[in-house]
């Protein structure tokens, strides 16, 4: 359940960035690199959740769908 919540939180974060037209910071990440730590709001409880909270405990998949829910 926490993994799904993290995935949903990441999707919500992506949607917020898209809606606000905020340019995310440029990174030089490559496939297999460790993701930088970030904090998002958990969708159900609105509490802060950090990626590092899951390190060594769960598998986390971060997905970004730039055109999801935009109607275009």
In this structure, is residue 7 part of a structural domain?
A: yes
Is residue 54 predicted with pLDDT exceeding 80? yes
Is residue 62 predicted with pLDDT exceeding 90? no
Q: Residue 10's domain spans which residues?
A: 2-54
pLDDT of residue 4: 72
In this structure, is residue 70 part of a structural domain?
A: no
In this structure, is residue 66 part of a structural domain?
A: no
In this structure, is residue 60 part of a structural domain?
A: no
Using left for φ > 0, alpha for ψ between -120 and 50, and beta otherwise, residue 11 falls in alpha
pLDDT of residue 48: 93
> Looking at the 3D structure of the chain, how many domains does it have?
1
Q: If you average pLDDT over residues 47-63, what whole number do you get?
A: 84
pTM here? 0.45
Asked whether 10 and 63 are in contact (CB, 8 A), the reply is: yes
In this structure, is residue 65 part of a structural domain?
A: no
Averaged confidence pLDDT in the chain: 75
């Amino acid at each position: 359940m926490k993994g799904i919540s993290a995935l949903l939180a990441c999707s919500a974060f992506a949607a917020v960035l898209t809606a606000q037209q905020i340019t995310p910071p440029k990174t030089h990440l490559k496939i297999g690199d460790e993701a930088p730590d970030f904090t998002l709001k958990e969708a159900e409880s609105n509490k802060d959740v950090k990626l590092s909270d899951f390190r060594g405990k769960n598998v986390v998949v971060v997905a970004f769908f730039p055109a999801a829910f935009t109607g275009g």
